[in-house]
């Protein structure tokens, strides 16, 4: 299955069906607007952060399983899907500011359950760390981590750099610029510094599968071992929650949407 650095290529249509309420939301930013989809009208507000290059449609199976019991809000980051852009590459901090604007729009006085996959999982952990008062619970679906590139570089720097080159040759220009900025941030010494996490329930879902023909280092046996170490360390930084392992591939939310929906219910209690 695709890993977090190239799953941008997968795209489907967001589910809006049955009696569940659905609608579009527009979140104004300086120089552009973010387009979000809202499904359901339950008491718990769930905000979804997709993987690198993916849009709101990535969560359709999870949202369908939750039905009307939650108010699910999925959106595309700047420059993806129907969301606009100011044409500038976005840092982690810029994406976090956009996420804050989405949350301020859908839950201006309350907390949300924040669900993130891959790069979206990194954004979810960072947002919760910086804005603990806005997060009711966290669901991290095979998330990227701030320290992962340092760990990969120490083990196999040549493979890491070769993977970067291969990916940059495949990405559309706007995503390539975002990716260059992302790896520059993750390569700084600050990225591997210890981080204090909020006292919120967390459900961490980790993929354990090794690809028969690995496309990138994370899909090799050595890379997967480091990936699991990164996730174990991340989970240990939280006071409460559950850590589950899957052999589905990186896109757990697509392969087993029910498991992600159950994780959302777990942290919503």
All structural domains of the chain, each given as residue ranges with its CATH number in brackets, are 7-268 (3.40.50.1820)
- Model confidence at 174: pLDDT above 50: yes
**Structure confidence at residue 15 (pLDDT):** 31
Return mean pLDDT, the chain: 92
pLDDT above 60 for 181: yes
pLDDT, tens digit, for every residue of 9-53? 333 223 333 334 579 999 999 999 999 999 999 999 999 999 999
Query: pLDDT digits over 91-130, tens only?
Result: 999 999 999 999 999 999 899 999 999 999 999 999 999 9
Q: What's the Cα-to-Cα distance from 266 to each of 52, 113, 201, 240, 243, rounded to whole Å? A: 26, 10, 8, 11, 12
pLDDT, position 192:
94
Across the chain, the runs of DSSP E, i.e. the strands, are 22-29, 32-39, 44-49, 70-75, 112-117, 135-141, 202-207, 241-246
Strand arrangement, sheet containing 112-117: 22-29, 32-39, 70-75, 44-49, 112-117, 135-141, 202-207, 241-246
Residue 108 pLDDT:
95
**Could you report the per-residue pLDDT of 51-85, keeping only the tens digit for each?**
999 999 999 999 999 999 999 999 999 999 999 99
**pTM of the predicted structure, to 2 decimals:** 0.91
**Residues 189-228: tens digit of each pLDDT:** 999 999 999 999 999 999 999 999 999 999 999 999 999 9
Instruction: Tell me the average pLDDT across 231-241.
Output: 97
């Amino acid at each position: 299955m695709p890993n977090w650095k190239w799953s941008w290529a997968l795209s489907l249509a967001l589910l809006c069906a049955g009696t569940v309420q659905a609608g579009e939301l527009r979140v104004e930013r300086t120089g552009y607007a973010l387009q979000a989809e809202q499904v359901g009208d339950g008491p718990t507000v769930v905000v979804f952060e997709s993987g690198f290059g993916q849009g709101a449609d990535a969560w359709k199976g999870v949202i369908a399983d939750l039905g009307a019991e939650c108010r699910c809000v999925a959106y595309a980051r700047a420059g993806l899907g129907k969301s606009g852009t100011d044409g500038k590459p976005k840092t982690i901090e810029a994406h976090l500011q956009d996420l804050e604007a989405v949350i301020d729009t859908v839950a201006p006085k309350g907390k949300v359950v924040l669900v993130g996959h891959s790069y979206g999982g990194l954004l979810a952990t960072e947002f919760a760390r910086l804005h603990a008062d806005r997060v009711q619970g966290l669901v991290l679906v095979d998330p990227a981590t701030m320290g992962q590139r340092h760990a990969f570089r120490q083990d196999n720097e040549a493979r890491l750099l070769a993977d970067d080159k291969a990916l940059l040759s495949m990405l559309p220009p706007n995503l390539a610029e975002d990716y260059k900025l992302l790896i520059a941030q993750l390569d700084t010494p600050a990225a591997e510094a210890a981080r204090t996490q909020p006292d919120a329930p967390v459900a961490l879902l980790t993929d354990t599968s090794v690809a028969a023909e690995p496309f990138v280092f994370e899909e090799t046996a050595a890379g997967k071992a480091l990936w699991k170490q990164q996730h174990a360390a991340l989970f240990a930084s939280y006071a409460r929650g559950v850590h589950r392992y899957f052999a589905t591939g990186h896109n757990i939310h697509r392969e087993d949407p029910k498991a992600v929906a159950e994780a959302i219910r777990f942290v919503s209690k």
